[in-house]
Amino acid sequence: MLEQVVALSDGSIVHFREIARSEAPTGNTLEAACYRTVLCLATEHADEIDRRYPKVLRRVGGYNLDESPMPRSPSTCEDHGRLRRDAGRRARSQAAPGTPAESESRNVIPFADLLESLSAIPAILVHKPSAVEVMDKSILDFTRQNAALDRIRNEYIEGDPGATLCVEFYADRKEDLPPRLEALEQDLRARHLGYAYRSETDLPAQAKIWSLREAALGLSTAMKGDAKSISFVEDTAVSPEKLRDFIARFLDIIHSHETTAGIYAHASVGCLHVRPVIQSEDRAGSPEVRSHRAIGSGPSAGIRGALSGEHGDGFVRSPFMRQMFGPVLYEAFREVKRAFDPLGILNPGKIVDSPPLTANLRFGAGYQTPNPDSWFDYSEYGGMGGAVEMCSGVGACRKKLAGTMCPSYMVTREESHSTRGRANVLRLAMTGALGESGLGDDGVYEALDLCLECRACKSECPVGVDMARYKSEFLASYWSRHGTPLRARALGNIHRLSVWGSRLAPVSNWLAASPPVRWLNAKVLDIDPRRTLPAWRHETFERHRSVPGQASVTLFNDTFTNHYDPEIGIAAVEILVQASDLPLAMK
Ligand code: SF4
């Protein structure tokens, strides 16, 4: 079902759906003007549309004039056809790969090199898979950085392949799958394509295999230092049988720039994400040149592909619309945009009339990665600026339903309270884009204030952005300029305070809970008087430790376990002693 309720640029709410051409609204409304414009442009330019629109399985570039009814004669604008959609919006619902159903299987096939794997696609498609996903060696190698992914890789992928295809099959009945898997394997073996054929019909195993592919995007951006795998020509699509040749030409261009690329995604529909590795000094101006050359390797060299298979145009691909669709259709796109948005208030510069590709670069000409003095060691990233720049903007921190990262975003739904928002704010502050105040800026303090320092981002962010660490770094800088608040000093000395709290418990607890002390805490330390402070324990964990023999396991005893929750430490000691028979030392 293709339909959508849409707010037009004048605020009117309309319902776009499949209707007979004769049902198209008429009159002076914006909705009627949109219908008139799209229908007439589709009719007038029917031949050009047929000639210029790439015939590929995935394309989201430009406006979909090709999917509007196109009577052959321009004079028959009143012809009856089916109006499938408005000019720019898409409401197609499509089963995404990666959601295992009961009658589904995944077949993992490693190949010696990427081009061999792509040359196998036409043969695989004959077996009618539901999806074929590819990961090249550089993406697979990134999985080595993550222990859990590395284990999965070792379990399911044989050897050290140049690329791996993950072939999915759906069937109504589970018993229909094995013969299809067998047929595929025999076919590929006979053609000498691939060197191992591992199939899984078990759902947990399939989910593990898929987790490798899912991690690919984040992993491909996980490069430390100046060189980054950048997305700017990463969404091209060609017909699957031309994919091998297209990628071969694409790689020639990339190699001619003495660099490499990570390649992954949807081989079955010819849509691959190619992310060239670019040094920061090259990121300032040359993407435009590179993109032009990349485009030249595809559509203008006879392959007739799409510049954007599934991500849309945006500022990165819009500058190439005229080149992709030609001057006639480009002018038609401008008319479509004007019809829907006469005042130019929605997404200006997207699809048509875009600014130059280099106008909004995050790393502009002369950009230098900032490297402020820091307390922690960031040498593996080339300094603190390099560590913050690890945030590639993927936005995994904006998830709302799973995991822990990022609690402050889950509650506020504000970009500035997400890990990505904070990384951007820090980067802007360090580069001086927020003015001279830099890391002493009050706005930066505000953005970081709600960070709970839970460190969920350190483990859940694909590139391991460690915002809690950066917050500590920022606060050290901010407070060195603005003075350290008493509350921070008191909490920073909690280990010393707790020694006395435990020694004097339960008197200290009674005092802390008394109204005068609560009042004082509110005034001096900004602690809400309604809060009950955690109670000190007279019997600290330290007093309990008594493990005979020579130590060979070390347990670090922290302030909170020691003075507030000693039973946690006691239980940990019991488990360690019973599990290992090893004597224990405690620090
Ligand atoms: S440490 Fe801060 S930024 Fe990272 S997930 Fe926790 S609250 Fe969010």
Angle between helices 442-449 and 419-430 (to 10 degrees): 160
Which of 534, 577, 578 shows the shortest CA–CA distance to 559? Answer: 534
Average pLDDT, stretch 324-338? 96
Contact 97, 133 (CB under 8 A): yes
State the Cα angle at 359 between 358 and 360, rounded to 5°.
100
Would the CB of 447 count as within 6 Å of ligand 1?
no
Enumerate the domain spans of the chain: 3-92, 103-311, 379-483, 541-586
Nearest CA to ligand 1 atom 6: 454
* Mutational test site, ligand 1, from 409, 414, 425, 457, max ligand atoms within 8 Å of CB: 457
Nearest-angstrom CA–CA distance, 162 and 233: 21
Distance 464 CA to ligand 1 centre (A): 11
Neighbours of 107 (CB within 10 A): 26
Q: What is the pLDDT of residues 36-92, one digit of tens each?
A: 999 999 999 999 999 999 989 888 999 999 988 655 444 434 333 333 333 333 333
Q: What is the pLDDT of residues 408-463, one digit of tens each?
A: 999 999 999 999 999 999 999 998 888 888 888 999 999 999 999 999 998 888 78
Buried/exposed code over 22-44 (b: 16+ C-beta within 10 A; e: otherwise) = eebeeeeebbebbbbbbbbbbbb
Distance 402 CA to ligand 1 centre (A): 14
Nearest-angstrom CA–CA distance, 235 and 232: 8
Report the atom number in ligand 1 closest to the C-alpha of 458. Answer: 4
Nearest-angstrom CA–CA distance, 221 and 452: 25
Is the confidence at residue 94, as pLDDT, over 60?
no
Q: What is the pLDDT of residues 499-514, one digit of tens each?
A: 999 999 999 999 999 9
- CA dihedral in degrees (388, 390, 394, 397; nearest 10)? -50
Q: Where are the alpha helices (DSSP H) in 265-308?
A: 287-297
pLDDT given for residue 436 in this prediction: 80
Would the CB of 449 count as within 6 Å of ligand 1?
no
Contact 82, 69 (CB under 8 A): yes
Would the CB of 452 count as within 6 Å of ligand 1?
yes
Work out whether strand 104-111 and strand 163-170 pair parallel, antiparallel, or are unpaired. Answer: antiparallel
DSSP secondary structure string for all residues of 233-246: STT-B--GGGHHHH
Nearest-angstrom CA–CA distance, 167 and 127: 10
Beta bridge partners of 6: 14
Confidence band, pLDDT 50/70/90 cuts, at residue 229: confident
103-311: CATH class? alpha beta
pLDDT given for residue 547 in this prediction: 58
Token reading at 277? 């590795």
Q: What is the pLDDT of residues 389-410, one digit of tens each?
A: 888 888 889 988 778 999 999 9
Distance 454 CA to ligand 1 centre (A): 6
Nearest-angstrom CA–CA distance, 356 and 581: 68
Distance 468 CA to ligand 1 centre (A): 6
Nearest-angstrom CA–CA distance, 114 and 189: 17
Q: Residues in the chain, how many?
A: 587
Sign of CA dihedral 344, 345, 346, 351: positive
Is the confidence at residue 114, as pLDDT, over 90?
yes
Confidence band, pLDDT 50/70/90 cuts, at residue 359: confident
Distance 560 CA to ligand 1 centre (A): 21
**Which H or E run contains 276?**
strand 271-278
Which range is most confident: 295-299, 381-385, 408-412?
408-412
Would the CB of 419 count as within 6 Å of ligand 1?
yes
Would the CB of 411 count as within 6 Å of ligand 1?
no
Please state the φ and ψ torsions of residue 317, each to the nearest 5 degrees: -100, -20
